[in-house]
Amino acid sequence: MSVVRRQEQIINILSDINNPMPGSELAERLSVSRQIIVTDISVLRAKGFEITSTPKGYILASSGKQCQRIFKVHHDGKNCKDELFIFTDYGATIVDEFISHRAYGIIRAELNLHSRMDVEDFLQNVDSEKSALLSTLTNGYHYHTIAAPTVEILDKIENKLWEKGFLAKMLEYEPEPFAKDLSKRNK
């Protein structure tokens, strides 16, 4: 199979699924090594395909238009599940989590959590791997990029986060590009 044909097959496979597919499974389906899949994914991204890497595999961005908003939140580790469930219960996707560290700058991790089950699996992995939440580096302050079908859903999420006391105000040292998105809430 030619490289171009294989890359077309990757797009076709990822277009037909709703959940991430591991690179090893793609490699097995296409009878190539996992490293070739990694290379093909890089080439496809360079060609403009929105393919996201998650802990569970690759996923192609949906063709449906999604609205996105960045939320700055603050809580201790005990409230993590409650916070993440707010997003998924409204049918939104938790695209990523990132922190703005004074010494290290922006540290970002792609999550792509779509459901309560995804949240449970993520938190179980953090716990079972003796890992720590990214927000522990900033005393519980962190950000999430959230994708939802409508702005109204994002507004409902924002209201629920305020109600629960999870939203946090922007600080002067925090960098762009997300400062614009958050500044309207600080008024």
| Residues 139-163: tens digit of each pLDDT | 999 999 998 888 899 999 999 999 9
From 28, 60, 92, give the residue that closes a domain: 60
Of 39, 60, 81, the one marking the end of a domain is 60
pLDDT tens, residue by residue, 97-117? 999 888 888 899 999 898 999
Place of tokens 């192609």: 60
- Residue 183's pLDDT is what? 43
pTM comes to 0.64
Q: What is the DSSP letter of 149?
A: S
What range does the domain containing 29 cover?
A: 3-60
Residues 121 and 53 in one domain: no
CA pseudo-torsion sign 85, 86, 88, 94: negative
Q: Does residue 119 share a domain with residue 93?
A: yes
- Same domain (yes/no): 87, 7: no
* Number of compact structural domains in the chain: 2
CATH value at residue 41: 1.10.10.10
30-59 pLDDT tens trace: 999 999 999 999 988 888 788 888 888 898
Residue 53 shares a structural domain with residue 74 = no
Claim to verify: residue 23 and residue 87 sit in the same structural domain: no
